[in-house]
Structure 1
Amino acid sequence: MLFNKDRRLFLQTAAKLGLSAGALIIFEQACSNMVPTEEAVSLMPTSQPKLTPTLVPAQVIDSTSQTPVPYPTAGPTPMVGPTSQPEMAYPMNTPAVNKKVIDDPRVRMGHLLRRAGFGASKEEIDKHLSMGEAETISYLLDYDKSDDSEVESRIESLNLDLSDKLADLQRMAMLRMIYTNRPLQEKMVLFWHGLLTSGWKKVGKGPYMLQQDELFRSHAFGNYDDLLKAVARDSAMLIWLDSRVNKKNKPNENFARELMELFSMGVGTFTEEDVKESSRAFTGWSLKKKVFHFQENQHDFGVKTFLGNIGNYDGDDVVDIIMEQPVTSRFISRKLFEFFAYDNPEEEVIARLAKTFNDSGYSITALLKDILTSEEFYTQQAYRSKIKSPAELIAGTIRALGIESTVTYQVRKYMGPMGQELFNPFDVSGWPENEEWINSSTLLNRLNFVNAVAEGNRRHFDYDLVNMIDLKTVNETKDVIDHFVDILLDGEISEEEKGIYIAYLDGLLKGEDLQTGLTKDRLASLVYLVMSSPDYQLA
């Protein structure tokens, strides 16, 4: 038995300092001699704590040419919230932590499938190990060759209302993350939702959010300039940034500003005059009957001066000029590298990625391939260096344990309290990142989630812990620990930590034979302990 307040304080500190699972168990053992109070909780996850969270919250373009404004082929997404200061375009680098390259094939594969997707079961990792690293990366990038009809059937069978119910839209998104055969595509959809942000609270009901989700899925790996031009015509984005109507006598500057500051160039890379001039280029771009409409009589056809270029520009021309700026290739290269690898990458890494991006004609596929095949991606500096987002934690846990779920409310309810509500980022800068996912409230809700998973529930988390182990192959406690460490931690654990887990399970068994002693409750206690450790909370 141990005190809630002590456990909470320890887990907060442990997560922030990156302490091992072993440290957690040592702490719990040290607390076991304390006199329990009515606040004390059992180590065994027999019931879910009732915790109430608090959210924390170029070159000159020919001035004689005018690009015609085509109509959109896809549409929107959802969300709204507070505002926060976006980061600078060139954040200061911190010294490399550990440049040693991971050499264990299983650890490398687990790392790849977590970062380029939402994790994998032991069987999936085995399959990809037999394929090899290079072929697995090709499989991830060439996603359109993979049949994803199974996840489509799952979604269709639930008769979801994807236009008017946010909960159903979130359910669809989670089902895709968990059961897709195209994990990198879905990971990129999540990335675009966080970068090219819109929100349900402001966008509201209608087809907009679903259309934007489909837009991000169809442009997941395309050229970035094409995606930006499509986003500029996206109904959800037009609503989100107050551009339902954009008249030449009063240009809306919101989209022009966010296009440069949040979507392409970063803070401090343009002037207020650039905002004013580029906003003129987007006049006439509006909504009519819920879809994009170019209102020609409201478009400013005058000459504009933008980022040192002079011409009769429209919105597409503005995007073209932005893409030609060296800062843009560095901006998107940094955003993607930090999302997939580690924060504050070295300038030489960003320079290399930016060159790949430019040389490929702004190809996201080329940029992703460079990142996923790079030595930096497989260093200790990258390995388990980022705190899992709530989406990664939930989807990854269900995938790893092979849980059958329809993502009921009892599953989805953990997302918001953990700090991430799909289709509803806090503000225009998207969701938190890395250590910002953790505070005293969100951490407790992470533990509530893994507690609920460990307990199991046929309706919400349908799986059988006992049958996950072939008792015929289990000769000692170590075999049980190895089994779950393989599933949950890529088999990557120190002998010292393994010894602590073994001692913990031996303490539960109290000499009882493994064949009869490995009950659901005991295994649930072990799994809960592993999943509540900082090791598991890191991607």
Structure 2
Amino acid sequence: MDQATSRKIQHLYSRAGFGISYSTLAHLSKQSVAKAVKQLFEESDHYHELDLDMDLPAVKGREEMSKEERKDLAKIFRESTRNLNTRWMLMMSTTKAQLREKMTLFWHGHFACRSINPAYNQQLNNILRNNALGNFKDLLIEVAKTPAMLAFLNNQQNKKDQPNENFARELMELFTIGRGNYTEDDVKQAARAFTGWGFRPLTTDFFFRVNQHDFGQKVFMGKTGNFDGTDIIHIILERKETAQFICKKLYKFFVNDQVDTARVNELANFFYSNKYEIGPLMVKMFSSDWFYDDENVGTMIKSPVDFIVSMNRQFYVSYENTNMLMFLQRALGQVLFFPPNVSGWAGGKNWIDSSTLMYRLKIPSVILNNGIIDLPGKIDPDDEAEIAMMKKGPTQLQRKIQATPDWDKFSAELPNKMSKDELIDFILAPNLEKEKKALISDLNGKSLKDIVVQLVSMPEYQLT
């Protein structure tokens, strides 16, 4: 196996996906990085949507429901969203369409949204997945028309006589062009353009309420016209700052927390000139020599979801109780479908704090040894069940992970005479050439499992 090519391909699959098996790595290392990139994209053309049949009850209008009916419905909604969460986690842990799911995870944080309605959550998630490598304009317009986002950002209340600016503001500040590139008057004018954008109650259908739309002339970013919401989006995308804003976020997610402005500008110029086509942009990123520079390899902290999913994939982990996936996410501070706010998860060094570091170092050995761990984590203030459990005291928080790694499958892919040196290179992303000799001498245990468990319990395993 060519070591230089192997290291690049391992880095590619770690960042563009959730890791790579040793057998696949050995096969691709005989080829070129370009072919590995091509394979990632080809595999991501074949994917499945989230299609959880939530079997939701027929929902009446809120005013027609009793207090008990509303409480029961809220419980069903929460359980269905949990099921969506674990279904997506399992999908990421097993799919060959790694790149598409990693991109969906990126857009899930970019278009951060919280909805109590699981049908809305599933619809939005599939829109992100279907457009993950498509055209950003198409993705943006579809997201802007989802009940999940329209409700979350209050555009259902945006009416011509009482404009609500929340949706218009976040569209520019967080989803497209960023702060400093629009004015307060632009927000007001954009809000007028989005009046009437809503959805039919109790459905996932976008609905343009003509009687609530402001058809008057608007002045937005120096242009004048009878603009509607789609026009506003087109004007925003005409500004090159939008391409720079998106490429900066992509760079921080896939390349490095420390932004190289020249590289971002290079990507933004390409993105803009290619009319916001996402797929070609990602090919350019993953094909660039600088993507594989030492300062970009093994230097980023894995997000909690990336951390759990990559471990599931690497060791073929199955869970007797998939609800454990929710507890693991909560303990580490990232729960899918429950972003902390409209800005999403801060990422980077923010993933590590005093309440998560201990769990990060302990969870790998617990999962790989089917052990028990104390998992209070970060309780969601909206989750009544979690709050009730916390009140019962610490003895109620001891949870058996009930995870089963397939050690036979994992070990069968490794060479018969694989050295500890080679195993370290495969398990840990950072380049540890200087420290490797001391590390090898510290690895105790006769079995492969003993050595691997020690490696995944190291701080370096937290890096990608």
Question: Which TM class, normalised by the smaller chain length?
Answer: 0.7 to 0.9
Aligned residue among 251, 257, 261 for 1:337: 251
Q: Does 1:139 align with 2:59?
A: no
Pick the structure with greater CA Rg. 1
Counterpart of 1:460 in structure 2 is 403
Q: Equivalent residue of 1:358, what SS?
A: helix
Counterpart of 1:488 in structure 2 is 427
- 2:87 is matched by which residue type in structure 1? M
Cα 1:103–1:269 change in 2 (3 A) is farther
Aligned residue among 117, 128, 150 for 2:28: 128
Cα 1:223–1:309 change in 2 (3 A) is same
- 1:230 is matched by which residue type in structure 2? E
Cα deviation 1:421-472 (Å, max 9, x = unaligned): 0111101110121111001111111123112123147952232369826999
Residue 347 of structure 1: CA displacement? 2.5
Q: Is the 8 A contact 2:315 2:405 kept in 1?
A: no
Structure 1 residue ranges without an equivalent (≥5): 1-101, 509-516
Q: C-alpha separation between the residues in 2 aligned to 1:394 and 1:267?
A: 33
How does 1:118-517 map onto structure 2 within 5 Å? 118-143=18-43, 145-146=45-46, 148=47, 164=77, 165-199=80-114, 203-289=115-201, 290=203, 291-405=205-319, 408-456=322-370, 459-464=402-407, 468=411, 473-474=416-417, 479=418, 481-482=420-421, 484-489=423-428, 492-494=431-433, 496-505=435-444, 508=445, 517=446
Higher mean alpha-carbon deviation, 416-425 vs 439-448, is at: 439-448
- 1:224 is matched by which residue type in structure 2? F
Q: Equivalent residue of 1:124, what SS?
A: helix
Aligned residue among 2, 5, 9 for 1:109: 9
Q: C-alpha separation between the residues in 2 aligned to 1:427 and 1:177?
A: 23
Counterpart of 2:452 in structure 1 is 527
Q: Is the 8 A contact 2:156 2:196 kept in 1?
A: no
Residue 527 of structure 1: CA displacement? 2.5
Residue 311 of structure 1: CA displacement? 0.7
Structure 2 residue ranges without an equivalent (≥5): 57-75, 372-400
Q: Is the 8 A contact 1:225 1:323 kept in 2?
A: yes
Counterpart of 1:76 in structure 2 is none
Q: Equivalent residue of 1:381, what SS?
A: helix
Cα deviation 1:297-317 (Å, max 9, x = unaligned): 111111101111111100000
Q: C-alpha separation between the residues in 2 aligned to 1:370 and 1:127?
A: 23
- 1:532 is matched by which residue type in structure 2? S
Cα deviation 1:302-349 (Å, max 9, x = unaligned): 110111111110000000000011211111111111111013433322
- 1:536 is matched by which residue type in structure 2? Y
Q: Is the 8 A contact 1:425 1:431 kept in 2?
A: yes
Residue 526 of structure 1: CA displacement? 2.9
Residue 406 of structure 1: CA displacement? 6.6
Q: Is the 8 A contact 1:233 1:292 kept in 2?
A: yes
Residue 258 of structure 1: CA displacement? 0.3
Q: Equivalent residue of 1:286, what SS?
A: strand
Q: Equivalent residue of 2:207, what SS?
A: strand
Cα 1:420–1:484 change in 2 (3 A) is same
Query: How high is the sequence identity, in percent, across the aligned residues?
Result: 35
Which consecutive aligned stretches of 4+ in structure 1 deviate over 6 angstroms post-superposition?
Answer: 158-163, 469-472
Superposition RMSD in Å = 2.7
Higher relative contact order (CA 8 A, sep 6+): 1
Q: Equivalent residue of 1:410, what SS?
A: helix
Q: Is the 8 A contact 1:185 1:217 kept in 2?
A: yes
Cα 1:327–1:145 change in 2 (3 A) is closer
Q: Which has the higher helix share?
A: 2
Q: C-alpha separation between the residues in 2 aligned to 1:246 and 1:375?
A: 47
Q: Is the 8 A contact 1:329 1:357 kept in 2?
A: yes
Q: Is the 8 A contact 1:469 1:483 kept in 2?
A: no
Q: C-alpha separation between the residues in 2 aligned to 1:301 and 1:105?
A: 58
Residue 534 of structure 1: CA displacement? 2.4
